[in-house]
Amino acid sequence: MSVTIRTLQKRKQDGEKFSVLTAYDACFSKLISEAGIDAILVGDSLGNVIQGQSSTVPVTLEQMAYHTECVARGNSGSLIIADVPFMGAATVERALESSTALMQAGANMVKLEGSAWLAESIELLNRNGIPVCAHMGLTPQAVNALGGYRVQGKDDDSATEMLEAARILEQAGAAMLLLECVPRELSTRITQAVNIPVIGIGAAPECDGQVLVMHDMLGISPGKPARFVKNFMTDASDIPSAFKAYHEAVLNVSFPAEEHCF
């Protein structure tokens, strides 16, 4: 049975967790979905792990649509979320155009990076049958404006602003939120404050779901891993086993642990 937005909404209502991993091609999409992972994120992180870029900024809409098509062909039941790339949601019109292309490529939902200012675009997309996951906290597309990859929401003012933005985006029609590099306490507050599922990465085990970049959790990304990463290949006999171990760890809340949070 295919995972839908309603599936994940019910998981939240029932207090059950769900797992998300990135994929960029049909082969890994097949392995991930067969391992029971609930959702696949076709992330613009492909700029880093596939293209060798220093950030996600160079990734184009055409590239995102191509990789979404590849993932959709290999998928067997996971919900597919696709990233709207850099500047793809700069205006309401561009958000609609970008999201349409990704949905037609096989996505079930699009992900937009930003904050409360996304509300107008989310309302329009929702009205046109395009579900949205709003990505808050550390938004990699804005790395140049943020001055690097930094934890967000650490002081009282920014935490209050992020909590209010989450409420605004839910009211605008966002079907899901993703919090990246947000302190555990704030991530927990946001998860409890909204009725829609919240995915964490470098956030809190209290979030409804967790996501990692596939290359990170397999231990094959170059350089020093981020604090929130765990290498699931260490104790696995093969890649499918690592995917299953990750899925089980998210569901039984053994991942993320305290050392993976901020």
Ranges of H-type helices in 173-238: 184-193, 214-217
Please enumerate, by residue number, every residue annotated as part of a binding site for 3-methyl-2-oxobutanoate.
Answer: 44-45, 83, 111
Cα gap 155→157, rounded to integer Å = 6
Determine contact, residues 198/207, Cβ cutoff 8 Å: yes
- Kindly list the distances between the CA atom of residue 225 and the CA atoms of 64, 85, 220, in Å, as whole numbers in the listed order: 24, 23, 10
Ranges of H-type helices in 209-259: 214-217, 239-251
Cα gap 57→34, rounded to integer Å = 31
Determine contact, residues 74/66, Cβ cutoff 8 Å: no
Cα gap 16→8, rounded to integer Å = 9
259 is catalytic: no
User: Among residues 93, 161, 180, 206, which one is catalytic?
Assistant: 180
Cis? peptide before 256, omega within 30° of 0: yes
Amino acid at the residue 242: A
Ranges of H-type helices in 20-114: 26-34, 46-49, 61-74, 92-104
Please enumerate, by residue number, every residue annotated as part of a binding site.
Answer: 44-45, 83, 111, 113
Cα gap 234→172, rounded to integer Å = 42
Q: Could you give the residue numbers annotated as active site?
A: 180
